[in-house]
Each structure stands twice: as C-alpha cells, then as structure tokens.
C-alpha cells in the first residue's frame, strides 16, 4: 500500500469562475529528480524547513580513516537557524521502501562533519551552482552568520542532524518506520509534493508536511489558567536597545554565562571578547557554555520581548575560530550601572568594583 493524501484541491480562478487543476506526474512531464526537483528545493530551501540554508548537493566523498570509500550520494545538505545540519533526501514519484534507512545512513555520516569541512563543501557547491566565490574563512563566516545570533556552530550541534524526506507518496512501511524513529528521538520529517497542470498550461508544485502531524490541541479552546508564554519567531520581534532597567532584571535571573560575557565585555568595551574567555570566567566547559548562551537567547525573546542580545556577535573576530562578543561604550555603562545597583554579578569568583 502507499500513503496518499487525496484531500487537497487546487484550482485557478478568474473572477467568479474556478477551474480545477489536474494532478500530473513529474515523469510524464519529463521532469527529473536531480535536474528539476532538486533545483527547485535549492531555489526554495525552506522546503526543507524554515530557516534552512543549502550547504551542498550530491555529496559522495565518504571515506573511513582506513581509506574505505563509499559512493552513496546525499541529495541535499543544509543548515538551519539552530546550527543543526539538515539531511534532505528527495525522490521523484513514490519513495522506495528503504528511503528512511538511506536517510538515516546519510545523517550518521554527516554528523561527523567539522565546520572547516562544511565550509570547504559549501565553497565547492557554490562553484558548481553560482558565481559566488568565497575563501574558507568567508565560508565559515557565512555559515555562522546564517544561524541565530545566540547560537555558536559546533560539532555538538552537527552530531544530531535533522532528516527531511520529500516524495510524491510513501509506502506504509516507510511511514511506520519514520514514526518509530521519531518515537526513539530521531528528528525526521515526511513531506510530500504534488504536481498539477492548469487549464492555462502551467505546472504548479505544492509541498506539504504529512509527518509529524499538526497538533490539533494547539487550537482547542477550553477553560485554563491563561495562555502559555511562548517565544515568537525571532524575525517577528523588534530590536530594542538594552537599558539599565533591563540589565537589573537580567541580574535577577540565573544566567551565569551571559553575565560573565557582559562582565568581560564591559571591562573592555568596543573590544571583541572570545567565547572561550567567557566560558573560562563562568567555569563551564564550551558545550555547556554554548547551551547557556542559546538558552539565554530564548529568554531574550520571551522575557525581554526582543530579538537582539545585549552584545554584538561576530565569528572568528580574533585568533580563535569561535564566536566573539562586544559591547559598545553606552551599553557597557548601562550594564555597570545595573551591577552597581544590585551589587551582585552572579558570576563565580568575580566581584565587580566600581
């Protein structure tokens, strides 16, 4: 059996007249997977999920430390706003009943990428698909600039890729396997496309998600204790300058690493401070420090209602290939004023003297 979605209706309109479009097969139109379907997704990378940037396509240079090679060809590799890799596996028509296993294998192999390897891969991808020419450092900066400002790209993030399958339909066995994989904690999504021909001779492609299913509970109304506070998408929030009052509020929260970052930057305003210095001040390992910075980004959106952290972030602004933070003179002054008001930096082993 094959999983089908037959409830979609597409029609063109001309005033009060609606004309149904008819479903067609890409193969009947002479449209192929690599020459057409893949190119469409590259042109519209959000097909693989919001905020996805395509890093590479048709990658097949897998090798073990012992020199054993594999020519398995990954359709698309992307990176999302959270710094996670996105494995895109595309199939024209009905997907084979092993497509999810193929994608899991690609996810396992891509999880070994480093930032340097990913940058080199993106340079080669751009050389094939565009006129954009980047150095390795510029490619690394482009990748880091793509992710949210509170995210620092790391191998820890690369270790858990997202998987997105895109096909016209799926066998029941594939759907069953995908649901089970998701229940085991694998981030995997099923998307399907449909092709239509209009009476005017146009071909229209729609893409929709069929798994995970939409949580209907998000729209059910009933008695409760009020709405649950959720973070808005970052692009829907304004940029708001940080004030003394904002910083005083921040100091009451449990954010040792962000506070260490603010202390370090305030000591040397207009100077780039590497994240390694911040993590050392807070007495945390880099993975934990990056996690706290990311968690602070969530609070910036929910608690402070803005998209911008107090500092400016730049990748590789000094000798180290890490994120660097900087405060301008005015913001640094506001921070020090707030610290003087509260008398507590909440930073292990650090006392601020003014």
Tell me the domains of the chain and their CATH numbers. 8-213 (3.40.1350.10), 234-342 (1.10.10)
Residues in the chain predicted with pLDDT less than 50, given as ranges, are 1-5, 348-354
Residue 80: is it exposed, middle or buried by C-beta count within 10 angstroms (0-12/13-18/19+)?
A: buried
Residue 291 pLDDT? 86
Residue 228 pLDDT? 54
Residue 316 pLDDT? 86
Residue 68 pLDDT? 76
Instruction: State the Rg of the chain over Cα.
Output: 24
Instruction: At 189, give phi and psi (nearest 5°).
Output: -125, 140
Residue 214 pLDDT? 67
Neighbouring CB atoms inside 10 A of 343's CB total 10
Give the predicted TM-score (pTM) of the model: 0.78
């Amino acid at each position: 059996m094959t999983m089908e979605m037959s409830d979609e209706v597409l029609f063109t309109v001309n005033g009060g007249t609606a004309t149904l479009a008819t479903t067609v097969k890409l193969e009947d139109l002479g449209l192929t997977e690599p020459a057409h379907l893949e190119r469409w997704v590259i042109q519209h990378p959000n097909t693989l999920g919001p905020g996805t940037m395509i890093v590479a396509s048709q990658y097949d240079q897998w090798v073990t430390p012992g020199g054993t090679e594999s020519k398995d060809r990954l359709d698309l590799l992307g990176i999302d706003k959270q710094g996670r890799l996105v494995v895109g596996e595309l199939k024209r028509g009905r997907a084979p009943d092993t497509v999810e296993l193929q994608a899991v294998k690609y996810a396992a192999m891509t999880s070994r990428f480093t930032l340097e390897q990913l940058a080199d891969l993106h340079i080669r991808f751009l050389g094939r698909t565009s006129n954009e020419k980047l150095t390795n450092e510029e490619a690394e900066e482009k990748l880091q600039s793509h992710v949210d400002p509170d995210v620092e790209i790391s191998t820890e993030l690369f270790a858990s890729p997202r998987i997105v399958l895109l096909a016209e339909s799926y066998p029941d066995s594939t759907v069953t396997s995908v649901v089970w994989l998701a229940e085991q904690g694998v981030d995997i999504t099923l998307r399907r496309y449909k092709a239509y021909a209009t009476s005017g001779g146009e071909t229209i492609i729609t893409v929709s998600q069929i798994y995970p299913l939409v949580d209907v509970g998000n729209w059910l109304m009933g008695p409760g204790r009020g709405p649950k506070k959720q973070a808005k998408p970052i692009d829907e929030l304004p940029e708001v300058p940080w004030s003394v009052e904002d910083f005083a509020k921040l100091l009451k929260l449990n954010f040792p690493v962000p506070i260490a970052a603010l202390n370090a930057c305030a000591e040397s305003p207009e100077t780039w401070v590497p994240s390694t210095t911040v993590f050392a001040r807070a007495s945390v390992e880099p993975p934990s420090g990056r996690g706290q910075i990311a968690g602070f980004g969530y609070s910036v959106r929910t608690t402070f209602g803005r998209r911008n952290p107090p500092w400016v972030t730049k990748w590789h602004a000094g000798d180290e290939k890490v994120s660097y933070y900087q405060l301008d003179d005015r913001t640094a002054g506001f921070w020090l004023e707030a610290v003087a008001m509260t008398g507590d930096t909440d930073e292990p082993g650090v006392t601020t003297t003014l």
